[in-house]
Structure 1
Amino acid sequence: MSFRFRGGVAGANAISGVDVADHCKEAFLELQRKKAHRYVIFKIDDNKNEVVVDKTGSPSESYEDFISELPENDCRYAVFDFDFVTSDNCQKSKIFFIAWSPESSQIRAKMLYATSKSKLRRDLDGVHYEIQATDPEEMELGALRERVN
């Protein structure tokens, strides 16, 4: 079902966001179950049709490595496998979903990413915490530590 909108054709995805490519869930499961990645960064493809994997980070990469891979002026989704030690001296891991929408990104991109987020989140079963960030300070390592304590 399509309808005309400002001279173009807009389908149901114009309102509900875009589809999620199958390999997104596979990459997430590799992070979650196999610990094959420290992080997975997702983007909406150039045709604005679906969410795809943009980059993955090896298990040895740090949070700083992850942050450096996020674009300064464009939106992204990401999952990060955060390792930490509890007050009882237990090694634990929690998965964070991060919706990166910097203030300097285009309004259309922000809107598209906002309307497409829920579809991706439903496919990523096992995320423990979610962060919506518009500024790097909102996702500093201390913010993750605060959430898990």
Structure 2
Amino acid sequence: MTSAISVEDRCIDAFNELQSNRHITTVLYRLNDNLDTLILDYEGNLTHDELLRTLPSDPRLVAYELCFADRDGSRRAAIVLISWSPQGVSPEQMAAYAAVYVALRDQLGGIDLFVEAMRQSDLEYDRLVRAART
């Protein structure tokens, strides 16, 4: 693994599409096989349940529009950046994904919630909504 991980322009473009136009609700990113470039893995619309079913056994970074009702009943949305690192991931992969997650946190604007998840229970809908409301 090289010391610097590059991010394909399409990754940023997909996030900007999610953020500004809201034509998509979900963007999944993955590192290439050399662990030196972040690439776009998926761009589209997924419900929360579909997102959970889509997460592979390999690490991913996910930008996701979480829609929910606020305490007063008004409709809200929060953009969540998720670092998905399931158990069994190699130390090299963990280090690479941790580095690119920090880089994306610093590079992308307009993210309301940052989540690091190792199990699907870390991404339960109610848990994310509670965090987004604070």
Question: Under a length normalisation based on structure 2, what TM-score does the superposition of the two structures give?
Answer: 0.91
Check conservation: 2:112, 2:132, Cα contact below 8 A: no
**d(CA) in 2 for partners of 1:122 and 1:26?**
16
Larger Rg: 1
**d(CA) in 2 for partners of 1:85 and 1:146?**
11
Identity of aligned residues (%): 25
Matches within 5 A, 1:2-81: 13-14=2-3, 17-58=4-45, 61-72=46-57, 74-81=58-65
User: 5+ unaligned residues in a row in structure 1: which ranges?
Assistant: 1-9
Partner in structure 2 of residue 6 of structure 1: none
Check conservation: 1:57, 1:66, Cα contact below 8 A: no
User: 5+ unaligned residues in a row in structure 2: which ranges?
Assistant: none
Check conservation: 1:100, 1:132, Cα contact below 8 A: yes
Counterpart of 1:110 in 2: which secondary structure?
helix
**d(CA) in 2 for partners of 1:49 and 1:111?**
11
Query: What is the total number of aligned residue pairs between the two structures?
Result: 133
1:91 and 2:75 equivalent?
A: yes
Counterpart of 2:30 in 1: which secondary structure?
strand
Partner in structure 2 of residue 123 of structure 1: 107
Q: Which of 113, 117, 126 matches 2:97?
A: 113
Runs of 4+ in 1 over 6 A off after TM superposition: none
Q: CA deviation at 1:18?
A: 0.6
**d(CA) in 2 for partners of 1:46 and 1:123?**
23
Per-residue displacement from partner, 1:6-49 (whole Å, max 9, x unpaired)?
A: xxxx7xx42xx411111111100111110121110000112322
**d(CA) in 1 for partners of 2:17 and 2:50?**
19
**d(CA) in 2 for partners of 1:26 and 1:33?**
10
Q: CA deviation at 1:140?
A: 0.9
Check conservation: 1:83, 1:91, Cα contact below 8 A: yes
Q: CA deviation at 1:132?
A: 0.4
Over the aligned positions, Cα root-mean-square deviation in angstroms equals 1.4
Question: Under a length normalisation based on structure 1, what TM-score does the superposition of the two structures give?
Answer: 0.83
